[in-house]
Structure 1
Amino acid sequence: MIFWQHLLHKLQDGQKVYVLTVIENIGSSPGRKGFKMLVAQDEFIFGSIGGGVMEFSLVAEAQRLLLEKNPATFIKKQIHKGHIKNGSGMICSGEQTVAFHCLDFSHISVIQNILACLQNGEKGTLCLRSDSFSFSNKCLDKQFDYQIESESDWFFEEYLGFRETLYIVGGGHVGVAVSELLVKLGFYIVVFDNRKDLNTLENNNFAHQKIVIDYTQIQDYVHKGNGSYVAIMTNTYIDDKLILSKLIKNKYAFIGVLGSTAKLKTMWEVLCKEGVAQEELDNVFAPIGLSIKSETPEEIAVSIAAQIIQVKNMGRR
C-alpha cells in the first residue's frame, strides 16, 4: 500500500513517474513477478525489482527517459548470465522481463482506485499492456496472469487486495507487534478484544479493523476458509480456552494459541474432557510461533509471522 501512496503523492505533485514492474521471471532471477519500483522526476525512488547492478542500470535508464518529452512504454528482458546480449551484468543464471510505464496526472484516478481497494479490504486486478496501465474489479483465480508474444504484444495482470486475513484475538502488546509485522507481509489485519478503552488496542495503528466484542460471539466475526488465519492471544487462560472452543471445529488455514507449554497442556486436557477430539487439537499450533526462544513482543511476533508464512507458502509441516 505504501508503494501506491508514494506514487499517488508524486502524481498529485505534477510529476511524471516511471513504474517498473517485473512481469516474468525464470530460474534464479532476483526479481519476481509483481516486484515494482517507482522512479520519479525529482529522483525519488521506491521499491525494488531485484537489486544489484541490473536494478541500478534500469533505474538510470528510467531517469534518463523522464527527461524526454514523451517517455515510452516498453518491456525489457534481462538475462542474468554476465556480459551477453540483453545481459544484466548479474551471474545468477535467471531471467526477468521488466515493463516500463510512464505515468502522469491522467493516471491519478487509477492509483486512487487501487488505494481505495486496498484500504477497504476489497479486491481487483492491475492490468498492464503495451498501451495501458489500468485497474478493474475483475478477480483472478491466481496471483498473476501474463503472456508475452512480442515486445508490442503482451499483457500482465496482477490480483491486488488481501487474499489472507489474520484475525488476532487479543489487543495487547503482542497483538500490536504481530499486526505491525503481518500487515507488511500483505495480510488484512483484524484485531478483537473484549476490553473497552484498552490503550494498546486504541493505539494499534497497523490493524485495518479493531473491534471490541463479546468473546462468546467470536465465531460470528471470524470468516471460515483457507484465507483466514487466527492467532489467539488474550490476557486470560479462560478467554483463550473459550475462543478456541468456539472456533476449533471450523476450517481455517491456520489457528494458533499463545501461551506456555504448561498452560496449554492443561487447556488440552480440559478440552478433551469436554469432548473436543484429539485430531482437532492436533490441528492447532500451540504454543504459536516457531521455537526461537523469543521473549519480547517483537521477537514473539517474528516467530508467529515466520510460522504463518511457512504454513501459507508450504502447508502444514
Structure 2
Amino acid sequence: MDSLSPHSPAPRDLVVWQHAMACLRAGVPVTLLIVASSTGDSPGRQGFKMSVAAGSMTGSIGGGIMEHKFVELARDRMQRRETGVLLREQVHRSEAGHNRSGMICSGQQMLVLLPLLPAHLPAVRAALETLEQHLPSTLHLSHTGELSVHLGHTGYPTQFESADAAASRWHYTEPLGFRDRLTIIGGGHVALALSRVMATLDFHLTVFDDRPNLNTLLQNPFVHEKRTLSYEKLALEVPEGPNQYVVVMTFGYRSDDVAVRQLLDHQLAYIGLMGSEAKIEKLLAGLRADGYSEQQLQRLYTPIGLPIHSRTPEEIAISIAAEIIRVRNAPFDDAR
C-alpha cells in the first residue's frame, strides 16, 4: 500500500490563499498581510499571514490590538484605493520610543501589507495549487510589490533581507507548504491518536508499518502518506534534515530494535522511541554491546513524551506531541 489520503491536513496558510483567490476572482479588493520577520516573544511569528477584505478576513498575524489595528489599516487603504506595498515595524513593549504595537509581550515583528491586484493573480493561483497538491514551492515578494511563486524549495529557510537601514529596499522569501515532517514508524492505536493530534500542528505526516492490511493504518485519515514497508528499508525511505522528526512505536521489541538501528545515525531534529522501561533498557543494552556510543544513544528521546503519567493512546499522543513541540520551538543548542 502506498497512498495519499484525500482528507489529510492542509498547510495552515491554505485558507489565506483560498480567501485571496476568491476575492480576486470576484473583483473584491483584498490585501495580503505577512509577518516578514519576528524576534523575541512576538505573538506574530515569521510567515504568519492574513487575507483581509472589506467584509471578511482569514488567518492571523498575531492577534490582539495590533492585528485589529492592521486589519483596519488595510481596509482603510483599500477604501482609498492605495495600491502600494507597505512595510511596518511593530515593537511589543510599552516603553518603545516608536512603532509601539499596543501589546507588551516583548519582541517585535515586521509586517508587510500587499494590496492584491489582477497582476498578482498568477502568483496567488500558483500558491494555492501547490499547497493543495502538497508540492514544494517558494514565495518571493519585494519592496516593489512584485509577488511570484516558483515550484521547488530553494533549500533556505524563510528570509527577510533589507538592502539598507531604512528598509526601503527589501526582499522576502518563504518556502510554502509544510516546513516540518513527522514520520511515524508503526501504525497502531497510538500512531492513530498521534496522527490526529499532529494533524493540527502543521506537520507533513507519514506512517510506515510492516503489517499489510492493518486496520488502524487503513483507517487513519489524518496523514498525507501511509505505506506498508519492511523496517530494514527505513534508512532509505526516511529523509534526513533539520526539519525531520521520527517516532518509533512498532508492534514489538524486535521491530523497534530494527527501526532504531536503521535511523540512529540519521541526521534528524528528533527521534523518539515508545516503550516500557524494561524494553528500553534491553534495547539500549544491545546497542551498547554492538558498539553504539553514548553520544549516539543520547540522541534518542526515550521514554518518549513529557512525563504526564499518560496511559491511554490519546494521553500518550499528547505527551509525545508536547515533547516534539518543545524540541521544535527550542533553540538548536538546548533542545535537550
Q: TM-score under structure 2 normalisation? A: 0.80
Match of 1:7 in 2: 17
Query: How far is the alpha carbon of 1:134 from its aligned partner?
Result: 2.0
For the Cα contact (< 8 Å) 1:234–1:240, is it kept in 2?
yes
Query: How far is the alpha carbon of 1:85 from its aligned partner?
Result: 5.5
- Whole-angstrom CA distance in 2 between matches of 1:19 and 1:64: 14
Query: How far is the alpha carbon of 1:175 from its aligned partner?
Result: 1.7
For the Cα contact (< 8 Å) 1:74–1:152, is it kept in 2?
no
Match of 1:190 among 185, 202, 206: 206
Match of 1:145 in 2: 160
For the Cα contact (< 8 Å) 2:184–2:208, is it kept in 1?
yes
Q: Which amino acid aligns with 2:139?
A: T
Q: TM-score under structure 1 normalisation? A: 0.84
- Whole-angstrom CA distance in 1 between matches of 2:241 and 2:89: 39
- Whole-angstrom CA distance in 2 between matches of 1:110 and 1:180: 32
Match of 2:3 in 1: none
Which of 82-91 and 262-271 deviates more?
A: 82-91
- Whole-angstrom CA distance in 1 between matches of 2:93 and 2:269: 39
% same residue: 36
Match of 2:52 among 39, 43, 57: 39
Q: Secondary structure at the match of 1:53?
A: helix
Match of 1:218 in 2: 234
> Are 1:56 and 2:56 matched, yes or no?
no
For the Cα contact (< 8 Å) 2:21–2:124, is it kept in 1?
no
Q: Residues 138 and 207 of structure 1: is their aligned pair in 2 closer, same or farther, counting only changes over 3 Å?
A: closer
For the Cα contact (< 8 Å) 1:31–1:49, is it kept in 2?
yes
Q: How does 1:67-106 map to 2 (within 5 A)?
A: 67-69=79-81, 71-82=83-94, 86-92=99-105, 94-104=107-117, 106=119
Query: How far is the alpha carbon of 1:307 from its aligned partner?
Result: 2.2
Q: Residues 108 and 302 of structure 1: is their aligned pair in 2 closer, same or farther, counting only changes over 3 Å?
A: farther
Q: Which amino acid aligns with 1:211?
A: R
Q: Secondary structure at the match of 1:87?
A: coil
Query: How far is the alpha carbon of 1:100 from its aligned partner?
Result: 0.8
- Whole-angstrom CA distance in 1 between matches of 2:285 and 2:78: 66
Query: How far is the alpha carbon of 1:36 from its aligned partner?
Result: 1.6
- Whole-angstrom CA distance in 1 between matches of 2:140 and 2:218: 33
For the Cα contact (< 8 Å) 1:37–1:48, is it kept in 2?
yes
Query: How far is the alpha carbon of 1:200 from its aligned partner?
Result: 2.6
List runs of 5+ in structure 2 lacking aligned partners: 1-10
Query: How far is the alpha carbon of 1:232 from its aligned partner?
Result: 0.6
Q: Deviations over 1:152-203 (max 9, x none)?
A: 5333222334443321111123223333433443332211012233333233
Q: Residues 194 and 82 of structure 1: is their aligned pair in 2 closer, same or farther, counting only changes over 3 Å?
A: same
Q: Residues 188 and 128 of structure 1: is their aligned pair in 2 closer, same or farther, counting only changes over 3 Å?
A: farther
Match of 1:242 in 2: 258
Match of 1:19 in 2: 32
Q: Which amino acid aligns with 2:206?
A: V
For the Cα contact (< 8 Å) 1:8–1:108, is it kept in 2?
no
Q: Residues 21 and 6 of structure 1: is their aligned pair in 2 closer, same or farther, counting only changes over 3 Å?
A: closer
- Whole-angstrom CA distance in 2 between matches of 1:116 and 1:226: 26
Q: Secondary structure at the match of 2:301?
A: coil
Q: Secondary structure at the match of 2:208?
A: strand
Q: Secondary structure at the match of 1:314?
A: coil
Query: How far is the alpha carbon of 1:265 from its aligned partner?
Result: 1.8
Q: Which amino acid aligns with 1:107?
A: H
> Are 1:132 and 2:146 matched, yes or no?
yes
Query: How far is the alpha carbon of 1:148 from its aligned partner?
Result: 6.5
Q: Which has the higher contact order (CA 8 A, sep 6+)?
A: 2
Q: Which amino acid aligns with 2:101?
A: S
Q: CA RMSD in A?
A: 3.0
Query: How far is the alpha carbon of 1:234 from its aligned partner?
Result: 1.5
List runs of 5+ in structure 1 lacking aligned partners: none
Match of 2:305 among 281, 289, 293: 289
Q: Which amino acid aligns with 1:99?
A: V
Query: How far is the alpha carbon of 1:49 from its aligned partner?
Result: 1.6
Match of 1:120 among 124, 130, 134: 134
Q: Deviations over 1:70-100 (max 9, x none)?
A: 5443223334455976433334454433211
- Whole-angstrom CA distance in 2 between matches of 1:290 and 1:206: 23
